[in-house]
Amino acid sequence: MREKSIPIAGRVVLVIAIICMLLWVLFPFYWAFLNSIKKPAETFEPTWVPFLQFQPTLEHWRSELAIPETRRALLNSTIISIGAATLAVVLGTLAAYALARFQFNRPQNGTLTTWFLSQRVLPPVVFVIPFFLLMRQLKLLDSVWSLVLLNATFTLPFPVIILSQMFRELPKELEEAALVDGATRFQSFFRVALPLVVPGLVATWIICMAFSWNEFLFALTLTSQSAIPMPVIIAGAEHTRGVQFWYVGVRVLLTMLPPVILALLAQRYIVRGLTLGAVKG
């Protein structure tokens, strides 16, 4: 049976649609790059091609990287995102395995899954004041650890939902064979089930890391000086003279590069992890 070929007109429309989508997505990054290498006086001029319409400069990059607050914000974002992603994946993996392999009655598995999903459905602004009061009581205001805990809480549904489905797709006979050979339930989990979902663990960790890296609301509310991450630094580029777009461009690119590089390095794990169990044999 021959597959139907797409007409030439359809291909042209598809290519135009893809080009428009790429321009829509990539133009903000190109705008940030141009402003980061332009002089302040050239920022408001309609120049788009470096070396032909304007002479690029790295002055803003050098001055921005020389600011201690920017370097500290990069370090804070790294600690917050890595810590929150790791904590969420560790706790979420255990919860996902429990939901996939055990049957609960009160509450039932479906109710527990819905409760985890509700952590992403509820708007974070609802929890700003309660979490602020709680962190003040625990003396964790302006601390990276408070943001680690909060981001881990709100990204926990991702590993629970993604990994529970992956564990369900694994044959139970593999773990039952380990139990027959004398392994405990924990040993069958760590030595049999967990190694088989490593691509899913990596993909889930990167998703949690990206969400924690970009989180702004709680970072703005719970930090004031020493624990400020990069999203708050980007929003602080407005001065009495207006928005300094050249510094905004540098900060946007500095914030974007680490997760993009990490995603490119772990691309094969992301693809394998997100497609694991999607097709049944």
What structural domains does the chain harbor?
8-57 (no CATH), 63-275 (1.10.3720.10)
Report CA-CA distances (Å) from 102 to 89, 176, 196. Answer: 19, 14, 19
Stretch among 16-25, 124-133, 143-152, 270-279 having the lowest mean pLDDT: 270-279
> Helix, strand, coil proportions of the chain in percent (round to 5)?
75, 0, 25
In 3D space, the residue among 191, 209, 195, 216 whose CA is nearest the CA of residue 88 turns out to be 209
Asked if residue 1 has pLDDT above 50, the reply is no
**Exposure pattern of 20-36 as b/e (b: 16+ CB <10 Å)?**
eeeeeeeeeeeebbbbb
For residues 141-163, average pLDDT: 91
* pLDDT value at residue 81: 94
pLDDT at 264: 80
| Residues 277, 165: Cα–Cα separation, whole Å | 8
Separation CA 92–CA 154 (nearest Å): 11
Q: What is the mean pLDDT of residues 45-52?
A: 82
Q: What is the per-residue pLDDT for 67?
A: 87
With beta carbons less than 8 A apart as the criterion, state whether 207 and 158 touch: yes
pLDDT-derived band at 116, boundaries 50, 70, 90 = confident
The dihedral built from the CA positions of residue 12, 14, 20 and 25, taken in this order, carries a sign that is negative
Provide mean pLDDT across the span 69-97.
Answer: 93
Alpha helices in 57-127 (DSSP H): 59-65, 68-101, 109-121
- The chain-wide mean pLDDT, for the chain, equals 84
Asked whether residue 281 carries a pLDDT value surpassing 50, the answer given is no
pLDDT digits (tens, 9 = 90+) for 27-38: 888 888 998 898
Of 62-66, 127-131, 265-269, the one with minimum mean pLDDT is: 265-269
Mean pLDDT throughout 199-220?
89
Which pLDDT does position 270 carry in this prediction?
A: 67
Q: pLDDT value at position 229? A: 92
